[in-house]
Chain A
Amino acid sequence: MSSDFQRQMPSAQNANQSRWLYKVHLDPILLALVSVVLCFGLVVLFSAAGDQTSMFDAQCQRVLAAMAMLVVAAQLPPGVYLRWAPFVYLLGLILLVLVLFVGVTVKGSQRWLEIPGVLRFQPSELMKIAVPMALAWYLQQRVLPPSPKHVFFSLLIIALPALAIAVQPDLGTAILVAGAGFAVLMLAGLSWRYLIFAGALIAAAAPLLWQFALQGYQRQRIITLFDPESDPLGAGWNIIQSTTAIGSGGLFGKGLLQGTQSHLDFLPEARTDFIIAVVGEELGLVGVVFLLLMYLCIIARGLVLAVSAQSTFARLFAGALTLTFFIYLFVNIAMVSGLLPVVGVPLPLVSYGGTSIITLMASFGIIMSMRTHKAW
């Protein structure tokens, strides 16, 4: 693999562009890494699903659909994305507003738009791509690093959808969307001082946020993080059971299909948000570290593709999508292992569920597009 990696370094690009995959705008290394993680995810899901084999079949179909999505996304040249960026963003914003009024409520959150019998989707999912795309579009016309005025407008571009998503309420997606936006800003050279200043501001405002911004259940989740035993059968249940699952896995794990925590239903959401605990329980530290290394390679490859892209827009967009992927996995794994409060974020490419996998694969397609299309 390392020789492949060498060959695809930006300095060596001309020598190898004759390969057929590049002609169809696919990056073989990223594609291989993503496929490994997808297969790994399917194996884990097969175990976690237990006797519900229909779940596994459904996920296989989704993976195939997502793969097609990647290929399609990679075919669109960066110019198309650039041109459509503001319109997609505005469309997304309009849909988000629509959700607030006519959205379908599932499990207490109003996240879905539905055309009965035809389709049902989450506009917030679109924003995970539309926000970094719009920001990259906005900033590529400006002098970088951006001036305070442009920073202000950039923040506005981030804040509008993020707030609309947060009130659904869907804190997990709001964090990812905002994170994608900030990634663009930071890549665009926003001074670190802004970050430090913002951090200090949030810390100072924390008591006020605690009092006014957070909902009761969100406050409870933070309390639970620090002391899960305070309510072991209620709010603390999830985190106690997930750390127990992970910890009991040890170095090599209990083996596939042998996890008692997941198979005896102690572990909640074992197939969706908490699936990393199944990895930890059944495949042990070895399995977790393997998955983390794969993720790290995907991020490395994504960043390499991003910086070697042909334009500022492409670099910002592809880089931000890669970093969003990282935020995804970090928030999820840190949450399940008890480092962060519980937020509804799936484990990328592994968790059961269609929406996130299709968005993620589309972003990988975009990253490939940004790199493989000729200059424009």
Chain B
Amino acid sequence: MAVALAIKDPNKEKEMIVGRAIAFFVVVVLCVCILVARFVQLQIYEHESYQSRSDKNRIQVQPLAPPRGLIYDTNGILLADNRPSSALGIVVERTDELDAVIAELREIIALSDEQVEQFHEAKKRARRPGEAVVIADNLSDADIAALAVNRHRITGVEVITQLQRYYPLGAIAAHAVGSVRRMTERDVQQNDEAAYRATQFIGKRGVEAYYEETLHGRPGFQQVETDAHGRIRKVIDSDPPTVGKNLTLHLDARLQQAAVDALGEQRGAIVAIDPKTGGVLALVSKPSYDPNQFIVGMTDAQFQALSGSVYVPLFNRATNGQYAPGSTFKPVVGLAGIASGAMQWDTQIDDNGSFRLPGGEREYRDWSWTVDNSGGQGVVDLRRAIYRSSNVYFYDVASRLDVNYLAGFAEDFGFGRNLAVDISDASRGLVPDSEWKLGAKGEKWYQGDSVNMGIGQGDLLVTPLQIATYVAMIANGGKTVRPRMVKGPEAAPVSDAASYEPTHLTSLTDDDWLRLIASMEDVVHLGGQGFRGNGTAWAYIGQDISYRMAGKSGTAQVVEIRQGEEYNEEELSEFRRKHAWFMAFAPVDDPQIALAVLVENGGGGSSVAAPVARKVVDAYLGSPVVMQ
């Protein structure tokens, strides 16, 4: 209609423009009304929810990690310390260009490709919103300074300083003290989430794990006003954390060090116990590892080297390594023979180097047996059988005993159970009996099984901790010993579930114990007796000793030697060689230390393990070697 007019009419145009302007103004007013309505909605109707949202934005309740309790040795030497450690974290949500941020950080501090890779892995894992993902641990002071200077350039980057566990002795006491590990998602689920909100590391091994509750303490909280970058502007309210309780161990760091040195490069374990208290004075498992590596973090290659090593350094041989006890088990058999009445102390047996069950085919040999049949210990009573470690004598005794009686006797010494008060994950070993064999192998118990058990072989399995406990009981004249790590007010009590009453040992007299101890003294001290007359360990440790030590060696077969074959160490591969045992206590008249030494695939107990034990006891009793 309007198009039809070809001539411009200024008045009409003005009218139209005025009309349009009025129409526009109506639209403008409507639009402004929409805006006002929107603000009324936000500021009046939804005000409260936005108010609380704004408060939630700025006010945060932050958990404060409690400093972990420290662990000291018996002389007050620190075994587990806390040190401040700074980590560099990135709040992923607050960075625009993550790659650019990382590139900038790399200009400031050294970041390896591996660290960056691990960061990208870590940022995928579940975390609290706004929580920084760590990209670099254990920043040096120089790094921290460099970051502080450049901080304004990079958003979303935080330096987090926290107390971190540090083990001053490193690998030396790793298995004794245990260690903490970074908490995993499972750890978070399994523990009281409130108590662990600020905690990054949790006890995973040894004392650190068993006393986790005592050491951890209670977290504190602080209410803070933070800005959008998570930086604290002011603290509104705070409730400080409760420090975890300190622990003192029976462990003697000096002795621990001496034990590590004594074992040298050999694989094995040493457990030393104070027979009076059961306190563990030293607990060594070699090879070991540096627990600090788990805290500062290690590369995949380093972890693979640790966890994949055939020498299993992460494995605690002292409490969890299960081995045949070999001849160290002979005193159990001998005492069982006496207690049962099957043998007397003066009962004599002719040991000509081998033993056959009545009507049996199989020949059981003495350790001194040779192909030309020239071995054997001659006429032996129990005392000589112990210090010469006669196999035939104990084959004979074991063959006369009911296996279930012998097994019960062994269990009274703590075999097949965990007598330790605060080492909950110690292995129980295995004391076979007829019932067990039927269940496990579906076979009845043969006399031959008893014969093997007589010299600590067969299915019998024990741990170094159990041998140490057992020798401590002998030192105590049969009184029960409960191994324990922690002393003082924080020490765990013996739980009812773990309590036990020895029933078989009671039939032994004090005289029996004294005679046994005297026989074990001969193992170390009886010398100068000529061919097959000396205590087995005398030649190795007994000639220059200044105190009285009672001991017993053991050499545990790892592989069965077939009929008519000679054991040839050279030909056997590393892992098939015999384990060397030595257990001992000293001084005999007032035992202060009882210990078990195991050298894995080390060979003869007297020649290999006994010198190690001697060095440890020397160190503890503070007696220098007296040359004769």
Contact = CB atoms under 8 A, between A and B. Distances in A.
B47 A264 contact: no
Contacts of B51: 247-248, 250
A256 to B, nearest CB: 17
A355 B2 CA distance: 40
A147 B3 CA distance: 6
A307 B17 contact: yes
A260 B5 CA distance: 62
A163 interface: no
Interface in B203-237: 225-229, 233
A11 to B, nearest CB: 13
A296 interface: yes
Nearest to B155: A265
B5 A143 contact: yes
Given A248-B47, A264-B233, A299 B17 contact: no
Contacts of B34: 334, 339
Interface in B18-68: 18, 20-21, 24-25, 28-29, 31-32, 34-36, 38-40, 42-44, 46-47, 49-51, 53-54, 57-58
29 contacts: A142-B8, A143-B8, A186-B20, A188-B20, A233-B93, A233-B129, A241-B228, A244-B53, A246-B39, A247-B47, A248-B50, A248-B53, A248-B54, A249-B43, A250-B47, A251-B47, A260-B225, A261-B57, A280-B43, A292-B32, A307-B18, A312-B13, A312-B17, A315-B14, A319-B24, A330-B31, A330-B35, A334-B38, A337-B39
B7 interface: yes
B13 to A, nearest CB: 5
A307 B43 contact: no
A339 B38 CA distance: 8
Contacts of B29: 296
A303 B233 contact: no
Contacts of A303: 21, 24-25
Interface residues of A, number: 54
A145 B42 contact: no
Contacts of A245: 54
Q: Could you say which interface size class chain B belongs to?
A: 35 or more
Interface of A: 142-145, 147-148, 183, 186-189, 191, 233-234, 241, 243-251, 260-261, 264-266, 280, 284-285, 288-289, 292, 295-296, 299-300, 303, 306-307, 312, 315-316, 319, 323, 326, 330, 333-334, 337-339
A54 to B, nearest CB: 16
Interface in B103-134: 129-130
A248 B49 CA distance: 8
A243 B20 contact: no
B227 A264 contact: yes
A271 B53 CA distance: 22
Given A250-B51, A319-B21, 16 more contacts: A142-B8, A143-B7, A187-B24, A189-B2, A233-B94, A234-B93, A246-B50, A247-B54, A248-B50, A250-B43, A264-B57, A264-B227, A266-B54, A307-B21, A316-B17, A330-B32
B10 interface: yes
A300 B20 contact: no
Contact of B227 (A142, A265, A285, A319): A265
B16 interface: yes
A319 B3 contact: no
B57 A315 contact: no
Contact of A189 (B20, B32, B129, B226): B20
Nearest to A303: B21
Interface string B157-183: 000000000000000000000000000
Nearest to A147: B3
A247 B2 contact: no
A246 B42 contact: yes
Contacts of A338: 38
Contacts of A148: 3
Contacts of B94: 233
Contacts of A330: 31-32, 35
A292 B24 CA distance: 17
A251 B50 contact: no
A142 B57 CA distance: 58
A323 B13 contact: no
Nearest to A292: B32
Given A145-B2, A246-B43, A334-B35, A264 B18 contact: no
A145 B3 contact: yes
A84 to B, nearest CB: 22
A243 B51 CA distance: 11
Contacts of B38: 334, 337-339
Contacts of B129: 233
A285 B39 contact: yes
B578 to A, nearest CB: 63
A333 B18 CA distance: 27
A265 B46 contact: no
Contact of B32 (A143, A144, A186, A296): A296
Nearest to B8: A143
Given A145-B2, A265-B228, A289-B36, A300 B42 contact: no
Contacts of A315: 14, 17
B28 to A, nearest CB: 5
B230 to A, nearest CB: 10
Question: A142, A244, A284 — which one has the most chain B CB atoms within 10 A of its CB?
Answer: A244
B225 A264 contact: yes
B626 interface: no
A246 B39 CA distance: 8
Contacts of B40: 285
Given A233-B129, A247-B46, A266-B227, A337 B35 contact: yes
Contacts of A337: 35, 38-39, 42
Given A187-B24, A247-B49, A250-B47, A288 B39 contact: yes
A311 to B, nearest CB: 8
B8 A144 contact: yes
B44 to A, nearest CB: 6
B497 interface: no
A284 B225 CA distance: 22
Contacts of B225: 260, 264
